[in-house]
Amino acid sequence: MIATLASCVICGLPFEARTTYGLCPLCISKDRLREFDRVESAKRVADRAKLPNTLTLVQWLSVLSDFNGRCAYCLYHTSALIEMVSTLHGLTYENVVPCCRGCHEHKLHGWDMAVQRVVAYLSGERDGTITFMQEDEAAVE
């Protein structure tokens, strides 16, 4: 395998690159490699959708660090995805947050229903029970 001289994307130090990750031996870790792959995958998706795509690994690690590796929505579960807050703004530093799979699914398929349930709970009498609407009741409304 041929090694080429490269600069680390995190610390900027030159090193002999043997992979395409762009991380020097001091900065490379299993977690950073996973996030590198996550960013590259999100970039491919943004490219296919013809969305703006300027997010770098360092920017994503900064955003992830701001939330301590947790989901930006629930602040409980570990991040699993790069979530674009608005698809119009694309994959940019100003438009991405970490998201867990559960919140991602809620956002895609029923976040409004969850918000309505929370608002109803907060505005009602709190007797320790939560009323869940059945699917057929939701269809009637």
DSSP class of residue 78? B
Region for residue 75 given its phi and psi (left: phi exceeds 0; alpha: psi -120 to 50; beta: otherwise): left
At position 26, the amino acid (one-letter code) is L
Lowest mean pLDDT of 3-7, 44-48, 53-57, 83-87, name the range. 3-7
The pLDDT confidence band at residue 19, using thresholds 50, 70 and 90, is confident
Residue 22's pLDDT is: 82
> In the prediction, which pLDDT does 127 show?
61
- Give the tens place of pLDDT for each residue, 77-131: 999 999 998 888 999 999 999 999 988 888 877 667 666 766 777 676 656 555 5
SS3 119: helix
pLDDT at 74: 87
Residues 6+ apart with CB under 8 A from 25: 15
The number of residues in the chain equals 141
- What would the mean pLDDT of 29-37 be, rounded to a whole number? 91
Q: Decide if pLDDT at 26 tops 50.
A: yes
Q: Please report, rounded to a whole number, the percentage of residues in the chain having pLDDT higher than 90.
A: 35
